[in-house]
Structure 1
Amino acid sequence: MPQSPLPAAGRGYLAIPGPSVMPDVVLNAMHRPAPNIYAGALPDMMPDLVRDLKKVARTQGHVALYISNGHGAWEAALSNVIAPGDTVLVPTTGHFGVGWAGMAQGLGAQTEMIDFGTSSPMDMARITAALLDDTDHKIKAVLAVHVDTSSSVRTDIAALRAAIDAAGHPALLMVDCIASLGCDVFEMDAWGVDIMVTGCQKGLMVPPGLGFVFFNDKAAAARTQMARVSSYWDWGPRANPQDFYQYWNGTAPTHHVYGLRAALDLIHAEGMQAVWARHDQLARAVWAACDAWAAAGPLRMNVSDPLHRSRAVTALRLDAPMGTALRDWTQTHLGLTLGIGLGMADRADPAWHGFFRLGHMGHVNGHMIMGLLGGIEAGMTALDIPHGAGALSAAAAVISEAPT
């Protein structure tokens, strides 16, 4: 006789790769009446908020703030430096690199894509070669995703900068850090990134609704060569506001601003190095469990080499339809929501049911990860999915290590 679902008690656990778990202090900061948007505490907090946001991005450059998700940040970045007819080079490692290229095409740009698949890192020599072939410098920018949330491939952005420099090419380096900022190590200025985009709903731990575009002086100079940029997307007034409303080109997302202030306080109280180390340790615990399960079963991590795995998300493969069956079981019986397999197969393809993803980003700690892994093991046991033993012990051994 089938087991009944567990009683609906306790908190659910949203273990998808964004939106991430929201800290209570962030939610509490947002739970307030509407503030005055013309004077007082809200406008007064903005200079320090912008300073602290740039500290997370590791930049002394500029930042423009938008009421948007990550796709809006994509469009904002492109709109300020890419005109219709311009060419962009897009090396891809998953669904979101392809998506950013599609947005560039929708804005009238020509795209040259180099597809590295969904499980492998970029071959930087191929990128250098493509730029060397562009002797007329038609390519205005290289668009890259630091961590593609669909595949969990992490790109070596410093190596990509070196590949562009090896070609002696003037193209802007534009990087999507929507999944990685505040989770994986990222150094905007030190790595020579010209434009970076992100959203608030992952490593920044704020409900979806804010997009950010960081840019340096080289990118600002490229903006001056544009014949036109819509007043809404123009990053100039947003990055150099004379009045509070110019940060947002209109009414501010007031409660998101309060939430972001609380989130930045949490991040900087912990310290960026400690935030990165925590994400690294928790990711390695997830991988240790997955390696143990894979020793006697079909589960596989999508990215085989740890050097190229994200510390924010892990994409996994099971024989279809076991991935969907496992997600359904953990959701129904445990209140544990695992991420769908996104971009690894078309949803009409039965193979789609063999993929799922784990988010381990933002407001997470060791006991949460152990609970996540324990829930997965319970689901595999209940569904008779073959798996190796010792996964939880392997994860616990990693979590027990002294912080580095």
Structure 2
Amino acid sequence: MTLHTGRHFLQIPGPTNIPDRVLRAMDMPALDHRGPEFAELGYAVMTGLQRIFRTKHPVIIFPSSGTGAWEAALVNTLSPGDKVLLAETGQFAVLWRGIAEKFKLDVEFMPTDWRRGADVAEIESRLAADRSHKIKAVMVIHNETSTGCVTHPLEVRKALNRTNHPALLMVDTISGLASMEYEHDAWGIDVAVGGSQKGMMLPPGLSFNALSDRALAISRANSSLRSYWDWHDMLEFNKLGTFPYTPAVNLLFALREAIAMLEEEGLENVFARHRRHGAATRAAAKTWGLDLVCLDPNAYSPSLTAVMVPDGHDADAFRKVVLENFDMSLGTGLGKLKGRAFRIGHIGHFNDLMLMGTLSGVEMGLDLGKIPHRGGGVMSAMEVLKGRNAMAMPKAAVA
């Protein structure tokens, strides 16, 4: 066993580093989840999440991973045989497709090479061709965690509006929420899926559905069976600040503290910090001479960077070298990218020095792992962080 000192560097794109403040907030005795003290906590996190999602509509909290919120989005609004349109932007789109097919939905899957976001023009073309409006929902991954490619939900909403198509817009923003711009109401999103363990800086265990009035109306008329995931059971109890079943109380204490931290920094500052760290990481990769998985600069993720290794080399063997020598975890390649790419998470509770330590570990690992590259990536990232390379700083998407 290799002996390491200091703190482990967890640089996967989720679960992310948990702030000490959040860990301390979780350290609470058991609480009566039907009592008035809990109701104060319940109201605080529900309204706080509305501010994070930027919505006046309900945000439902489930004690589950993000997979649960995926399922909730489907079973509340759709029925077996309903057709949905889903872009295959990476492994998490593939997984969402799998859930939809288990519920007997008719999935129209739009294949891609996993190296860019969804093709909005193709989505619009398929919507325009669907004159009988058989497509009941368009499903996209906001920030594809397996590839580091972004799909801009506002552009998908514009495509729906231009074709005057009534399909619901469902957006997985699990690794986008609280790390990049997201406007639930302003962008006309009907159902959003979020999770606790990424930009929200919490342990895994909570997931979220942000809703629209239209999604709620459709769910009331929907006859599909559901129990645990039923939005309306949730909303009735939420009126009292509580839940229809035992909630993850200590995670809710953590959630309240995480929301406070995000709002103290200011969401715009949070987003700018993530953009800056993404730009610095890409500058390092460019200097190393390694290709990014994401080929479209307009789709670069602020929260993670997926990097290809040269042909003939194994990304997982490289990750093992980094882990054993520097006690740092990098994200593995998923699905089609297994062994071909590694992922650097720069999301959540993170700062400049943490990023420099991360990139130093990667560059030393490239040397030890005998991955062909050029030196100087760390210095290139440093120049971005010092503000000398303003061209590397992408502007925020304009809603």
Q: Structure 2-normalised TM-score?
A: 0.93
CA deviations 1:201-251 (Å, max 9, x no partner) are 00101100001001010111111221244232111232342665853x211
Which amino acid in 2 is paired with 1:150?
S
Residue 249 (structure 2) aligned to one of 224, 245, 254: 254
Paired with 1:44 and 1:237, the residues of 2 have a C-alpha distance of: 20
Higher alpha-carbon deviation: 252-261 or 231-240: 231-240
Q: 1:192 maps to what in 2? A: 188
Residue 319 (structure 2) aligned to one of 324, 327, 330: 327
Q: 1:214 maps to what in 2? A: 210
Q: 1:396 maps to what in 2? A: 382
Paired with 1:322 and 1:141, the residues of 2 have a C-alpha distance of: 38
- Asked if the contact 2:12/2:345 (under 8 Å) is kept, the reply is yes
Residue 137 (structure 2) aligned to one of 141, 146, 162: 141
- Asked if the contact 2:41/2:252 (under 8 Å) is kept, the reply is no
Point out where structure 1 has 5 or more consecutive residues left out of the alignment. 346-351
After TM superposition, list the pairs within 5 Å mapping 1:88-107 onto structure 2. Answer: 88-107=84-103
After TM superposition, list the pairs within 5 Å mapping 1:1-400 onto structure 2. Answer: 7-241=3-237, 246-247=242-243, 249-294=244-289, 299-319=290-310, 320-345=312-337, 352-400=338-386
Q: Secondary structure at the match of 2:194?
A: strand
Cα deviation, residue 169, structure 1? 0.4
Paired with 2:287 and 2:189, the residues of 1 have a C-alpha distance of: 38
Which amino acid in 1 is paired with 2:319?
R
CA deviations 1:296-327 (Å, max 9, x no partner) are xxx21111232211111111110343412221
Which amino acid in 1 is paired with 2:247?
A
Q: Percent identity?
A: 36
Q: Secondary structure at the match of 2:29?
A: coil
Paired with 2:188 and 2:344, the residues of 1 have a C-alpha distance of: 30
Which amino acid in 2 is paired with 1:260?
L
Paired with 1:179 and 1:397, the residues of 2 have a C-alpha distance of: 27
Q: Secondary structure at the match of 2:272?
A: helix
- Asked if the contact 2:41/2:253 (under 8 Å) is kept, the reply is no
Paired with 1:246 and 1:88, the residues of 2 have a C-alpha distance of: 33
Q: 1:349 maps to what in 2? A: none
Cα deviation, residue 260, structure 1? 0.6
Paired with 2:340 and 2:228, the residues of 1 have a C-alpha distance of: 41
Point out where structure 2 has 5 or more consecutive residues left out of the alignment. none
Which amino acid in 1 is paired with 2:341?
F
- Asked if the contact 2:313/2:371 (under 8 Å) is kept, the reply is no
Which amino acid in 2 is paired with 1:358?
I
Which amino acid in 1 is paired with 2:304?
V
Moved over 6 A (4+): none
- Asked if the contact 1:245/1:252 (under 8 Å) is kept, the reply is no
Which amino acid in 1 is paired with 2:315?
G
Which amino acid in 1 is paired with 2:301?
S
- Asked if the contact 2:39/2:242 (under 8 Å) is kept, the reply is no
Cα deviation, residue 29, structure 1? 1.0
Q: Secondary structure at the match of 2:305?
A: strand
Q: Secondary structure at the match of 2:138?
A: strand
Cα deviation, residue 276, structure 1? 0.2
Paired with 2:4 and 2:85, the residues of 1 have a C-alpha distance of: 49
Paired with 2:193 and 2:51, the residues of 1 have a C-alpha distance of: 15
- Asked if the contact 1:63/1:239 (under 8 Å) is kept, the reply is no
Which amino acid in 1 is paired with 2:332?
I
- Asked if the contact 1:283/1:311 (under 8 Å) is kept, the reply is yes
Paired with 2:9 and 2:236, the residues of 1 have a C-alpha distance of: 40
Paired with 1:288 and 1:234, the residues of 2 have a C-alpha distance of: 45
Q: Structure 1-normalised TM-score?
A: 0.92
Which amino acid in 2 is paired with 1:132?
A
Q: Secondary structure at the match of 1:301?
A: coil
Which amino acid in 2 is paired with 1:367?
L
CA deviations 1:318-377 (Å, max 9, x no partner) are 0343412221111111110111001224xxxxxx32211111110011000000000011
Task: Figure out how many residues of one structure are paired with residues of the other and give that number.
Answer: 389
Paired with 1:109 and 1:323, the residues of 2 have a C-alpha distance of: 36
- Asked if the contact 1:151/1:344 (under 8 Å) is kept, the reply is no
Paired with 2:314 and 2:196, the residues of 1 have a C-alpha distance of: 32
Paired with 2:139 and 2:365, the residues of 1 have a C-alpha distance of: 39
Cα deviation, residue 121, structure 1? 2.8
- Asked if the contact 1:38/1:244 (under 8 Å) is kept, the reply is no
Q: Secondary structure at the match of 1:212?
A: strand
Paired with 1:245 and 1:135, the residues of 2 have a C-alpha distance of: 43
